[in-house]
Structures are given as C-alpha cells and as structure tokens.
Structure 1
C-alpha cells in the first residue's frame, strides 16, 4: 500500500501555528501546562519552541509543571541526545 501522506521536513511555522499549541488540552487527566509544553517540544524546532515558550510564559503558565510520573519537561528533554538546545530554552524561561 502507498502512504497517503508525505513526511514534511523543515516546515515553516507561522506565529499563529505556534500559538495554537496553547490551546491543546490533555485527554488523560495530566497537568495541562505539562501536556502543552511536552507537545510543543515534541512538535517544534528549537527556534519555534523558543517563540512558543515566550507566549507560554506570558500567560503565566508553569514551566516546571510535572507529568503523572512526577517528571518535568526539562527532565525529559535533558535525557534526549538532541535536547540540549530545548533544555537551555526551558532554563532561560525559569525551568529548574
């Protein structure tokens, strides 16, 4: 069978697209701020994530929100081989 969608690489994100992540809601009862941050990290390039994080903190959301397992997005990102840029962005926004 042929794939019906092609993988898009290096898509240019508009500010509105980045901002749309602020509207994501968890479906599993997890912390909303944690869920939003994790989805943004998983979906965005570092530059887009930095833009998003500015919007996130403008709304006075919690960059240290934890998931159901008690880990923060910074803890998760810090375990990833290519996560250092994201970790630096999170730390500059007050994540500990």
Structure 2
C-alpha cells in the first residue's frame, strides 16, 4: 500500500516582516538553548534575504548569536557544513558569529 503525502511543497512563500519576527518566538525542545534553536530553524526555513532580515531582528534584541547545542556546536558551525550555505555563513559572521 502506497502512502500519500499529506502536504505539498510550497514554493515562493511570502515572508512578511511579521512572519520573520515570529521566528524569534519558536520554542525549542527542553535541552536545546533557545537562541541556538531559533537561528538553526530560521536557517533551515528561510530564503537568504529573509534570513538576513531575521538575523538583524535577532541581534537587535541582544540575543546570543554564538549559542550552542548540547554538543557545543554553534548554528554557524552547522551552517558551514552545508555546501550551499556560504552566503548564510557570511551573514552570521558579519553579525558576530564565531
């Protein structure tokens, strides 16, 4: 028996400023630092221009761009592992990520 996909892939979603800001409120699992979690989720979900806008809101709130996961990895260190992530990594570095 074949399983049917219940969701279609959405292309060219509209990312309003409010939707980008809403990512600042994404709640992590209990053992994940909130700042790390929202940065990684924003990277995984947003196009480059929306991610850049998000990082601006994130840093304006004084949040920790160098937050780590339980393994001590930063969002930047994970982003750098992906082959098409150079521009995302540049945005992070320009905003103080190490």
Please say whether Structure 1 and Structure 2 have the same fold, judged by a TM-score greater than 0.5: yes
- In structure 1, stretches of 5+ residues that fail to align are none
- Alignment pair present for 1:64 and 2:66: yes
Q: Cα offset for 1:5? A: 2.2
Count of aligned positions: 96
Q: What is the rounded CA distance, in whole Å, between the counterparts of 2:6 and 2:67 in structure 1?
A: 37
Q: 1:47 aligns with which of 46, 49, 53?
A: 49
Quote the RMSD (CA, aligned, Å): 1.0
Q: What is the rounded CA distance, in whole Å, between the counterparts of 1:34 and 1:2 in structure 2?
A: 34
Residue of structure 2 in register with 1:32 after alignment: 34
Residue of structure 2 in register with 1:92 after alignment: 94
Q: What is the rounded CA distance, in whole Å, between the counterparts of 1:48 and 1:22 in structure 2?
A: 13
- Alignment pair present for 1:18 and 2:45: no
If the length of structure 2 is used for normalisation, what is the TM-score?
Answer: 0.92
- In structure 2, stretches of 5+ residues that fail to align are none
Per-residue CA deviation, residues 12-66 of structure 1 (Å, 9 max, x unaligned), is: 2100110000001112321110011011011001110000000000110011111
